[in-house]
Amino acid sequence: MAAAYLDPNLNHTPSSSTKTHLNSGVERSPGTMERVLKVFHYFESNNEPTTWASIIRHGDATDVWGIIQKIVDCHKVKNVACFGLRLSHLQSEEVHWLHPDIGVSNVREKFELGHAPEGWKYELRIRYLPKGFLNQFIEDKPTLNFLYQQVKNDYMLEIADQVDQEIALKLGCLEIRRSYCEMRGNALDKKSNYEVLEKDVGLRRFFPKSLLDSVKAKNLRKMIQQTFRQFANLNREESILKFFEILSPVYRFDKECFKCALGSSWIISVELAIGPEEGISHLTDKGSNPTHLADFHQVQTIQYSTNEDKDRKGMLQMKIAGAPEPLTVTAPSLTIAENMADLIDGYCRLVTGATQSFIIQPQKEGERALPSIPKLANNEKQGIRSHAVSVSETDDYAEIIDEEDTYTMPSTRDYEIQRERIELGRCIGEGQFGDVHQGVYVTPENPAMAVAIKTCKNCTSDSIREKFLQEALTMRQFDHPHIVKLIGVITENPVWIIMELCTQGELRSFLQVRKYSLDLASLILYAYQLSTALAYLESKRFVHRDIAARNVLVSSTDCVKLGDFGLSRYMEDSTYYKASKGKLPIKWMAPESINFRRFTSASDVWMF
């Protein structure tokens, strides 16, 4: 299989201009496919769930598995074999499950050239589940959370309006508990907290429309408060498992069913059920017990084709170990037969641990089989390059352009500073990730520029380094007289961030030392200057999340500047930012930030 690769020079957090460019399509010659693929997924991020996606660049030799592997590797998934890629047409509701061995370029040429590319949606989903999957996924948190978000989304779209009122209440309250697990069990009894949930977050996020429309607001509030108390002591993981426990009897998300017929004609109409518990089974009518046909480890080969009759139905044939003849299933169309084949093939790979597909493609007359893929050398690892590769060396690559919590400096390296130009001085402060030193930046224009240098304490892993450099990525987007300016970065270990030096130090200690000498006019001036900085951040759609006197620096007796952007986040298209993890300054936080981990420009003002 062709693997997916990440270009180290690529900026993974594009500016708004980059996003506009991607939305409008990559430049290409007429009649050629753009080489960028947007893949929606259920890895939770700080944006609205409908926007969770990764933008992938692919080459001509990149296959579907390369795309899947690149995305799941970024999220440290263990159960990679459970994932598949689904292509659906938004208007016709046509659905195709893409086999991992298929080339991405072939897929796009086959489907997108016949319809407008905007009409298709590529979606990463968990499709193949092992037996006892919940117990297995407890040890694999990214996969457990992904499955939860996927199932919850399907439940809300497909059956939430039809389930019993009590079940809908419980499932909705479990999602509240999971989303805001730091919130006390009786927090919703307080009117202000409930109103934040109702008006700011929105009850529609948790409960189906039918429930909200059929119950009066006052009664609904009491029902939600009472139900929420039942789950007061559950943590995030326990809330997820309880959600699955309540949902499973009314919604079998762990199996797929297909209306088809056994044999090569439509004599015996059945519903074929495929899943980890059933294996391959069929039902002749509703309410009947399933008849077991085969286990996945018994399947030896899978073939699908189109009937030669005028109906052009799809035919699926499986060679089963110990069976005298192949198991034949007739599907309403070739597409459904292909989707069934992919599902069974995925389960067979999962159960047996095989890397080769069980599907046998019929060889057309005149075709010659391709030679087998050579084995990797001992010093090579599948999916990882042993050296840096440029576009000119191969087209066999895929790149993530916009992925949550990743960082690289711009490809032009316009903020990179040579270490020999920096003279490191005494330590003047300590931060969350490292110490701050006074220093000198030597340039031809200014041979002795005084600067502040933030060092990284333990940049031994890429993840720590990325989090540390996130502050520089944020700061380089600001240009305001009362916000500390970024001078540059040194991205090689040891990693440094170089900023302008505010010689008077932190505002907190400055005020403590001069509390008897500062006049009211100076205090009002400082407050005004900081308010202009906050207004500027709001205009740029950033929340600081750590407004405190210790993070305000005094440049001179009549000028203060806001600094320490380690917790700052861009709100993108949302009106708020939701923190998913990490330490937060609780003493200064607004109530909605404490209870719901929601941060807005208004919560910055509260801290101010």
The span from the CA of 121 to the CA of 98, in Å, is: 12
The span from the CA of 416 to the CA of 439, in Å, is: 17
In the set 342, 345, 546, 604, the catalytic residue is 546
Distances (CA, A) of 546 to 179, 463, 470, 473, 604: 22, 22, 15, 17, 8
Q: Is the dihedral of CA 73, 457, 470, 399 positive or negative?
A: negative
The span from the CA of 535 to the CA of 605, in Å, is: 10
Q: 558-597 burial, b for 16+ CB within 10 Å, e for fewer?
A: eebbbbbbbbbbbbeeeebbbbeeeebeeebbbebbbbbb
Sheet holding 496-500, edge to edge: 422-430, 435-441, 449-455, 496-500, 486-490
Secondary structure of 370-436 in HEC code, one letter for each residue: CCCCCCCCCCCECCECCCCCCCCCCCCCEEECCCCCCCCCCCCCCCECCHHHEEEEEEEEECCCCEE
Known binding residue 454? Answer is yes
The span from the CA of 35 to the CA of 33, in Å, is: 6
Cis peptide upstream of residue 494 (ω within 30 degrees of 0): yes
The amino acid that residue 55 corresponds to is I
Using CA atoms of 462, 463, 465, 470 in order, give the dihedral in degrees to the nearest 10: 130
CA gyration radius, the chain: 29
Phi/psi for 211 (5° steps) reads -70, -45
Q: Which helix (H) or strand (E) holds 536?
A: helix 520-539
Please say whether the beta carbons of 320 and 299 come within 8 A: yes
Please say whether the beta carbons of 29 and 374 come within 8 A: no
The span from the CA of 482 to the CA of 551, in Å, is: 12
CB within 8 Å of 64: residues ≥ 6 apart: 85, 98, 99, 100, 101, 102, 103, 104, 107
Check if 254 is active-site: no
Catalytic residue list: 546
**Binding site: residue ranges?**
454
**Binding site for ATP: residue ranges?**
454
